[in-house]
Amino acid sequence: MKKGNIFVLLLSFLVMSFVLIACGSDNSGNETEPEEPADTSENTAEDETDGNKEVAEEETEEQSFDFLSMLTGGTSGTYYPLGGEMASTITDATGIQTDALSSNASADNVVALQNEEAELAFVQTDVMDHAVNGINAFDGNPVENVQAIGSLYPETIQIVTKKDSGIASVEDLAGKKVSVGAPGSGTYINAEQILEIYGMTMDDIEAQNLDFSESTGGIQDGNIDAAFITSGTPTGAVEGLSATVDVAIVPIEEDKIEALIEQYPFYAKDTIAAGTYGLEEDVVTVAVLAMLAVTDNIPEELGYEITKAIYENAESMAHDKASFITVDSALDGIGIELHPGAKKYFDEQGIAQE
């Protein structure tokens, strides 16, 4: 056989050998190209869902409450005794122990809520308005984590003095020792605004920063001449004073009331009825509203239960001011965002925030 033919046969043999080896390798899978990665999008989605569930469960655990603190006011005012009844009602309705705690009232209460040192608090509607807008005592520090449950009752601005003090008008307070409450408190701000309407400032009086019981005690002892007291009537401290001396309440004239409301719409005209504190006739003055505020970390369902408990059980509360707590007036004077649970409750009652 010629050498050329032998070479061709050998080359053919080698080619066939390589073909057989390649086929064998494909069948065994040892040398095949790697498969495309499996589609894990469904698994990833499931993992993300599970992760989200875990986060949600953790957040739910963080937002569960075994105990609620309700800040009220001084023990001689209206907030504290009414708050005690409301706290008991909330405890019974929710199964969560709720305690009413005495405090320095509105401004301090809002700060405590802002710092999450309490969950619920009594606040004046005007002070709450100042807080969310970052003005007056909250200048440059607006409160963003507080929401409303609803308004409760009118808080009357009472300028209290002795009947024989010679103080018959706001102008007569000039040069006198007058208690105006703690700086930044609701009472203090009310005093500032009423004096302003009369063309006066704190510099025109000898301002004393006393609480309600200290104020009435000071009037009784002759250490001060008068006191601004913003509280639902009758106020315990003033009733106590009227048991020992003849009390007078300084009226606010109609034109001044109109000017005050025009400048500060959260005020309303109010009347202290004859017979209160032994008064011989009605006294015309102004009022703001007391409201209940909460931190926004209260879960919606708990906020709903709190709202329902208060407005559906007010008639069973013994305090005089409980009679003012109604669904129909619950959103009066509320200028801040409602808690989602409160909104849900009022929506069910057909009551909408203006």
Angle between helices 300-313 and 340-348 (to 10 degrees): 50
Which CATH superfamily is 66-348 part of?
A: Periplasmic binding protein-like II (3.40.190.10)
Residue 115 has pLDDT above 60, yes or no: yes
- Comparing C-alpha atoms, which of 183, 126, 188, 195 is closest to residue 335? 126
The predicted pLDDT at position 2 comes to 45
Residue 349 has pLDDT above 60, yes or no: yes
What DSSP designation does 269 have? E
DSSP characters over 144-161: -SEEEEEEEEEEEEEEEE
pLDDT, mean of residues 167-176: 98
pLDDT by residue (tens digit) across 211-255? 999 999 999 999 999 999 998 888 889 999 999 999 999 999 999
Lowest-confidence pick of 62-71, 301-310, 335-344:
62-71
Beta strands 67-71; 146-162: pairing state: unpaired
Residue 36 has pLDDT above 60, yes or no: no
The predicted pLDDT at position 50 comes to 52
pLDDT by residue (tens digit) across 58-80? 444 446 789 999 999 988 778 99
Spell out the domain ranges in the chain. 66-348
Question: Please, which residues bridge with residue 128 across strands?
Answer: none
**What percent of the chain shows pLDDT beyond 70?**
82
Model-level pTM? 0.68
pLDDT, mean of residues 151-155: 92
Gap between the Cα atoms of 297 and 232, Å rounded: 29
The predicted pLDDT at position 63 comes to 61
Q: What's the Rg (C-alpha) of the chain?
A: 36
pLDDT, mean of residues 186-206: 95
Residue 166 has pLDDT above 60, yes or no: yes
Residue 337 has pLDDT above 60, yes or no: yes
In Å, how far from its chain's centre is CA 200? Answer: 32
The predicted pLDDT at position 325 comes to 97
pLDDT by residue (tens digit) across 124-145? 899 899 999 999 889 999 999 9
Helices (H), the chain: 3-28, 41-62, 79-94, 106-114, 125-133, 186-197, 212-221, 236-242, 254-263, 300-313, 340-348
**What percent of the chain shows pLDDT beyond 90?**
67
Pair 186, 232: CB distance under 8 Å? no
DSSP characters over 46-76: HHHHHHHHHHHHHHHHHT--SEEEEE---TT
Q: How confident is the model at residue 267 (pLDDT cuts 50, 70, 90)?
A: confident
The predicted pLDDT at position 12 comes to 54
The mean predicted confidence, pLDDT, of the chain is: 86
The predicted pLDDT at position 232 comes to 84
Question: Please, which residues bridge with residue 229 across strands?
Answer: 158
Gap between the Cα atoms of 145 and 178, Å rounded: 35
The predicted pLDDT at position 218 comes to 98
Residue 16 has pLDDT above 90, yes or no: no
